[in-house]
Chains A and B, each alone.
Chain A
Amino acid sequence: MSDSAARSNSDDAWDDLLGQLAAQPKVQPRPFFYTRVQARLAPEAPAASPPLVLGWLRRPAYAVLLGALVLMLSGDGSALRPAAGAVHYNANPR
């Protein structure tokens, strides 16, 4: 067989294979595809509502930090007294 005939056969076989690819049965999504898209859209709706003003407070780290800050600042200043007392004590040894 000549080179040109072999090439022609190869081209024909290639075209035939590409024809098979195009002719294969088309796949389709499972039934009720629209329902599943809608279900996926449903949780998106609340996200569209305006964000919570203090939404960041829901994060535990921020909540704990804020709690500690409130505790520290809510005292009557006693946290500073021992230091003052200690200075006074050291200043008057026996």
Chain B
Amino acid sequence: MAHGLLNETRLSALSAADAALVAQLQQGSEVAFRTLVARFQDRVYQTAFSLLRSPEEAEDVAQEVFVEVYQTIGRFRGEAALSTWLYRLATSRALKNRQRARAKKRFAFFTSLLGFDNETLYEPPDHGHPQALLEGQQQLQLLLAHVARLPDQQQVAFTLRHEQELSYEEIAAVLETTVPAVESLLFRARQTLRKHVHPLLRHV
């Protein structure tokens, strides 16, 4: 891990607590790394799970994110909040992981067509969220299935907004874009979803 103190002017996006934690991490403190993992593991895991819908893949991505943080914290300059950086790493790694899985699935499909092997095809992740699998949650399950089919940027924006409940500003920071761009992504995502999902009003 790289050593050295950060220039305070570069830490403008960080809160005082985060800046202190980053400084300790950059000095190689294991206690600081443990604190970081404890503080962010749920959010990183939930973000990965929202995009992959597979506990195993979400665990793998979450571990990769913290390994990357450990290895690259020396280059972290504090231009973004610590949580923003971690959300960014989690979403980009989850999307890469999904692309790899899709490529593997396509390859397995073609090799099975050509008869190169008799192995079973890659099984897609189960998109059924634990909650959605309960009785009466079919609409939620249908919504999640269609969210999984949205273009990457729209899916990330929708997930961060409606599952992680991030503000538009926070989402813009994660996606390294503007607030109007996030509004546009969310508008298009909702439009697409409303074409496919027609929920009925519950009478509670």
Contacts and interface: CB of A to CB of B under 8 A. Distances in A.
Interface stretch (B16-24, B55-63, B83-91, B120-128): B55-63
B70 A14 contact: no
Given A17-B140, A24-B131, A37-B63, A29 B45 contact: yes
Given A13-B201, A21-B143, A25-B130, A33 B37 contact: yes
Q: What size tier do the contact residues of chain B reach?
A: 35 or more
A40 B34 contact: no
B67 interface: yes
Say whether chain B's binding surface is mostly helix, strand, loop, or mixed.
helix
Nearest to A8: B201
A27 B67 CA distance: 21
Interface of A: 9-10, 12-14, 16-18, 20-22, 24-30, 33-34, 36-37, 40-41, 44
Interface stretch (B5-13, B93-101, B110-118, B192-200): B192-200
Given A27-B45, A27-B46, A29-B42, A34 B163 contact: no
B163 A16 contact: no
B65 to A, nearest CB: 9
B131 to A, nearest CB: 4
Given A25-B131, A27-B130, A36-B63, A17 B45 contact: no
